[in-house]
Amino acid sequence: MKKHRMLALWMIVLAGVIGVESVQAQTFSGDRNARAGLTIGPGFAAGGSMILDSPSGYKIKPVFAWTGEVSTTYPLTDVISSGLSLGIHSRGTRVHHFQNENIYSDTRVLFFTLYPNFTFSGFNLGFNLGLPLSGTETAYTGASSDLSSNLLNTMAELRLGGTIPVADDELGWLSVTILGGYSFSKLVNYPDIVESFGDWRNISLQAGFRFEFLIPGTERD
């Protein structure tokens, strides 16, 4: 089941990137104006996240996940760019009773993240490092409790997707983003005593937008 979820995640990311690249190639000339130099600006993305495998006797579902970032990009060549993003990321999962999805608990963790990355002709690859800021568990009854700091992990997440420019002029450039993430660390540090605890490594899929302003005088020769 875990392998199926991972395969589905990367297939969705790949299909989305190829689809957006195809539309972009037909509708955007690709002239590099702002993208010819150092740019910086805000971005937002939303989607879902969930853990890889459920605890014994339970099932899992994705919960809403979002990202707010400030990103900077610099072109190394005409097709390769380096980037760095600082932001706030939410990750989480829903765990519900095997026979009754109305009996559930939502776990959510908020991270401050540092995301160094490279973009190769629209395809984006990077490694996301996140420091946990807070975590909560909310039951179907509405009761909520904070997770203690010893249960929260630093996030180490591989991210793969696309950063597709849709507008580019002397002021800045606008892009559509599609990113899937796989965390090598557990969302919550529950003890690995037995397999019945499930696999709390997290996967996510998000789509959004970003606008970066050109810093004058930084254009690459």
pLDDT at 132 over 80: yes
Q: Is the pLDDT of residue 82 over 90?
A: yes
Helix (H) or strand (E) holding 185: strand 172-186
Instruction: Sketch out the chain's domains with CATH numbers.
Output: 2-214 (2.40.160)
Query: What pLDDT does 101 receive?
Result: 82
Alpha carbon of residue 137 to chain centroid = 21
Q: How confident is the model at residue 108 (pLDDT cuts 50, 70, 90)?
A: very high
pLDDT of 13: 58
Query: 81 is written with which tokens?
Result: 């760019």
200-211: pLDDT as tens digits: 899 999 999 999
pLDDT at 16 over 60: no
Position 21 scores a pLDDT of 54
pTM here is: 0.84
Judging by DSSP bridges, how do beta strands 199-214 and 39-53 pair with one another?
Answer: antiparallel
pLDDT at 120 over 80: yes
pLDDT at 110 over 90: yes
Average pLDDT, the chain: 84
pLDDT at position 189 is 84
Torsion angle (degrees, nearest 10) of CA 16, 21, 24, 30: 150
The fraction of the chain above a pLDDT of 90, given in percent, is 48
In this prediction, residue 193 carries a pLDDT of 46
> How many other CB atoms sit within 10 Å of the CB of residue 77?
9
Q: What is the mean pLDDT of residues 171-186?
A: 91
Read off the pLDDT of residues 26-81 as tens digits, 9 standing for 90 and up.
444 456 677 889 999 999 999 999 998 887 788 889 999 999 999 999 999 888 89
H helices of the chain, in order, are 2-27
**Residue 3 pLDDT class (50, 70, 90 cuts):** low
Quick: pLDDT tens for 65-79. Answer: 999 999 999 999 888
The Cα-based distances of 8 to 11, 12, 15, 200 in angstroms read: 5, 6, 10, 18
Q: Which amino acid is at 42?
A: P
